[in-house]
Amino acid sequence: IWLLTGDKKETAINIGFACSLLRQDMRQFHLSSVMDSGCSNQSEVILVAKKALVSQIKSFSQEINEEHNKHMPFALVVDGQALEIGLRSDVKDQFLQLAVECASVICCRVSPKQKALITRLVKEFTGKTTLAIGDGANDVGMIQEADIGVGISGLEGMQAVMASDFSLPQFRFLERLLMVHGHWCYNRISKMILYFIYKNIVFGLTLFFYEFYTSFSGQVLYDDWYMTAFNVLLTSLPVISLGVLEQDVPSDVCHQFPALYKQGQRGICFSWKRIIGWILNGAVASLIIFLSTIHALSTVAFLGKGKVADIAHLGTITYTCVIWTVNCQIALIISHFTWIQHLFIWGSILLWYIFLLAYGALPPSYSHTGFQVLTEAIGGAPSFWIITLLVVVASLLPYFIYMVLQRTFYPLDDHVIQEMKHCKKDIFDKPMWLREQQNSKRTTQVGFSARVDVKIHHLKEAIQQRRESIYNPTQRCPSPVAFWSLLSLLGKLVQTQGTAHELDHPPT
């Protein structure tokens, strides 16, 4: 976490302690640059300052590497002159390497241009997603340079808000923006992209399999209007509902279990492993649909008088199985159902049959192979409905088996929480719910117990002063008031240290 401020060093350090970026048990490194006024040449002054800064960076890096306690948090405080030299091309790599090894970095006397430059360098050096928060016009460059910009509307105007991706009225709403909406959006976008890949593979590979089956004759399996309506009309609304309304867990649970936010940082929901898995899922489903329909219709009489199904009937039945499969697949993906999702998913399937009726009612010069295909051909055949049911179940079975195995043997954090909420463990087994909630709160290097540490520090100073004054210089015996005051301070110290231990070491 970086704090970039134009305030002086003392003010920035006080702000760091106030917002828990700094704490008493952190090792602080102060990078400062002292310009040698004895040198008349400006280039010599910069060269001497650069050498001194590089020497400090190497010394601090060596201390970090030699630290035996791996959980020891470090903080870096940089003044304006040192930052100006540290951002030069021949020093910036060493400076950034030291900075990323620290839990907190505080930069003082930073100009708006330097804020944007630091953000760009950190983004390029680490390759990670950066988020910048600002409330004034001097933060606009930093907000625009970051991957995600958050502007806070306040007394300094609306420039930061106008340049940001997200706007907040107060800083305290940042927690909900990240923990709730950040987790939801990551989950929604990941599922939506993977589902887009899946449904288009299922649809497209059936055409490829048919061309391969017919020795690439050039004959198209589906009617032109069928292919046009697939992405535009028959599968678009369920995807919109998935990307807008999906919630794997409720908002209050996102606050209670902060470990859920780690899914986005670790790339659990969207990775090459997931992408390849969904590609294989789509390919298997497409292969099952094509082979099942082609073999079910090619060997038996489908229509009256012993007639078999032609390409129009085969294409319509295969397309029907595809529509059912992709819409039922998104129903298996969705964790949070509302009436809107039900309307869009099952309404899209119903819309396909309405489309068939309307398209088949047109004259043959317009409907071509789709003329009366549902009412006079496939609609009255029981095998059409049986094939649709069996093929859809068979094509969804691999994903269903995978989902059962994953939730049984390798569940993710949201899977466990969904199970607990479904079984109402938060109501009937409150200790278990609280225990899992505590386990999800990982210990942090930038401590949430900073105020407790400060309180312990003040109590120790008060105890030391009380020990020094426990004997009255004019009396040979201890003062009873001072003695009982010392015991009271010792009791408060023990109680506060116990609170700090519970914060840093939650029960398992």
Statement to judge: residues 44 and 74 lie in one domain: yes
Q: How many CB atoms lie within 10 A of CB 364?
A: 11
Indicate whether 257 belongs to any domain.
Answer: yes
3-state helix, strand, coil in the chain (%, to 5): 70, 5, 25
Instruction: Look at residues 173, 205, 240 and tell me which one is the last residue of a structural domain.
Output: 173
Place of tokens 């090792």: 27
Statement to judge: residues 153 and 234 lie in one domain: no
Indicate whether 366 belongs to any domain.
Answer: no
Statement to judge: residues 99 and 231 lie in one domain: no
Question: pTM of the entire structure?
Answer: 0.76
pLDDT digits (tens, 9 = 90+) for 373-415: 777 778 778 888 999 999 999 999 999 999 999 988 988 877 7
Annotated binding site for ATP: 5-7, 109, 115, 138-139
Q: Tell me which residue range forms the domain holding 221.
A: 177-357+396-408
From its phi and psi, is residue 306 left (phi > 0), alpha (psi between -120 and 50) or beta?
A: left
Statement to judge: residues 186 and 159 lie in one domain: no
Annotated binding site for Mg(2+): 135, 139
Alpha-carbon span 103 to 186, nearest angstrom: 25
Indicate whether 422 belongs to any domain.
Answer: no
Indicate whether 370 belongs to any domain.
Answer: no
Count of positions (residues) in the chain: 508
The structural domain count of the chain equals 3
Indicate whether 317 belongs to any domain.
Answer: yes
pLDDT digits (tens, 9 = 90+) for 453-478: 555 555 566 666 666 665 555 445 55
pLDDT digits (tens, 9 = 90+) for 353-373: 999 888 888 887 777 777 777
Statement to judge: residues 87 and 187 lie in one domain: no
Cβ-proximal residues to 165 (8 Å cutoff; 6+ apart), any chain: 148, 149, 150
Statement to judge: residues 235 and 303 lie in one domain: yes
Would you say the C-alpha torsion 442, 443, 445, 447 has a positive or negative sign? Answer: positive
Phi, psi torsion values for 150, nearest 5 degrees? -120, 120
Statement to judge: residues 72 and 121 lie in one domain: yes
The alpha-carbon radius of gyration of the chain (Å, integer) is 33
pLDDT at 449 over 50: no
Statement to judge: residues 166 and 216 lie in one domain: no
| Residue spans of beta strands (DSSP E) within 166-243 | 166-168
Indicate whether 390 belongs to any domain.
Answer: no
Structure tokens at 227: 């292919």
pLDDT digits (tens, 9 = 90+) for 59-113: 888 888 887 677 788 999 998 888 888 888 788 888 899 999 998 999 998 999 9
The CATH code of the domain that includes 119 is: 3.40.50
Instruction: Look at residues 149, 173, 197 and tell me which one is the last residue of a structural domain.
Output: 173
Alpha-carbon dihedral 276, 280, 282, 285, rounded to 10 degrees: -160
Statement to judge: residues 102 and 169 lie in one domain: yes
Residue 504: pLDDT band by 50, 70, 90 thresholds?
A: very low
pLDDT (mean) for 285-300: 87
Statement to judge: residues 69 and 6 lie in one domain: yes
Indicate whether 103 belongs to any domain.
Answer: yes
pLDDT digits (tens, 9 = 90+) for 410-443: 888 777 887 877 776 556 556 655 665 566 555 5
Instruction: Look at residues 173, 197, 232 and tell me which one is the last residue of a structural domain.
Output: 173
Statement to judge: residues 116 and 247 lie in one domain: no
Statement to judge: residues 42 and 91 lie in one domain: yes
In this predicted structure, what is the pLDDT of residue 76?
A: 92
Indicate whether 423 belongs to any domain.
Answer: no
Annotated binding site: 5-7, 109, 115, 135, 138-139
Alpha-carbon span 474 to 453, nearest angstrom: 36
Beta bridge partners of 471: 478
Cβ–Cβ under 8 Å, residues 13 and 78: no
Residue type, 191: K
